[in-house]
A = this chain, B = another copy of it.
Amino acid sequence: MRQSLQPSRDRADYPFVHRLRTRFAETDAMGVVHHAAYLPYLEEARVEYLRSIGHPYDDVRAAGEEGREFPVLEVWVQYRGALAFDEEVDISLVVGAATRTTFQIAYLLSVAGQERATAVTVHGCVDRSGRPHRLPQWVRDEFAAGPSEGDATG
């Protein structure tokens, strides 16, 4: 297991938050959001985070020879309380544990301040043909400049 981040359960530890609303299509016959639907939520939050730091993922992918993708190498989710249809979910995230070739993101999902889930994703870096690369310099700069693993997670 590569995952080394321990997601904090305190929203103050996260520098970025993205809000989305659950869809009816994402619920299941238990009457709550299906556990698989959380992964696109995390992804949507990552995409908004990259936009917020001036690196829209669509641009990152489309940069010709320099185009890069950040595939998910590992995902871990702990479901602590169900999400209902039509709830507004705050997805807090913080980047950490960057190496030359991978970085990790910790997430806290909450509704009206109530914790619902925590999660971690581990990402690599490949070009459009799928060949592994080092992380771009801006990623290392940005993520090194961000909260360190020790600071940002509890």
Contact = CB atoms under 8 A, between A and B. Distances in A.
A36 interface: yes
Contacts of A3: 76
Interface string A64-103: 0000010111111111001011100000000000000000
How many interface residues does chain A have, given as a range?
35 or more
A32 B128 CA distance: 12
Contacts of A25: 28, 34, 36, 39-40, 43
Contacts of A24: 28-29, 34, 43, 47, 57
A153 interface: no
Closest 9 CB pairs of A and B: A36-B39, A27-B29, A25-B40, A58-B86, A35-B72, A76-B76, A29-B31, A74-B78, A27-B28
